[in-house]
Structure 1
């Protein structure tokens, strides 16, 4: 069982519900790629850079961008991986395996949880692109991001499973 898998919380403190929903969406994204062969994890079925493995790589970068860079004020060198907002977030090296990228995403998620725990939901910071954002908004934005990408992953997985060539 993966560290981020949790039982669904449907009632209780707002923060518990938000963090639980985020963890569920993290796991849902992992589940879309789990068990694929390396060629299928990298298989491009759409014109964009979107593949099962690149979705996970991008999600790990999103964790670092929002929690390590923005909330913890870390420099790119202090982050545990790529953390710039550009298309390179989808770049997976040939030496990186699907289990490596899943582990990277899980590490980034653990670090995000540690950083988020330092703040209340109402704590705010200014973001040049978004304006003033709260930790609540950040958690909701990450829930939205990972739910959207898990949907992308579901569609890719369905295509791959229908024609695993």
Structure 2
């Protein structure tokens, strides 16, 4: 799974002019399932996001997690993170999970996030969304969790 985290002072998502998700300080999480991803990658990605120390402590050093600071999560599906531009000027998205698999993993990710973190808002899977944010820092971090290879006996 792929994610791009943006530390934000505030963020919101609109669909057809209506705000469907909105947070104050925290993380905007753009997330994409790739072919071959499963719940193990979603779990590892969420654990990393919740513990990643990208918020400032009293000394101004990035030493606190979103959990430490009581920040919110705004989770937005974005299959375009899987873009492959190596073959020319038009991106290919063949690395993204099939829509039904992507939706299932996105919904699983959101469900797990809501069970483990108190402040979670979302976008709408497969919708045309307008994402508004005030990037804090700016701090933008890309993450990738690849499938764990099976251990052979």
Query: Does the alignment reach a TM-score above 0.5?
Result: no
Structure possessing the higher relative contact order (Cα contacts under 8 Å, 6 or more residues apart): 2
More helix by share: 1
TM (norm. structure 2) is: 0.30
TM (norm. structure 1) is: 0.29
More strand by share: 2
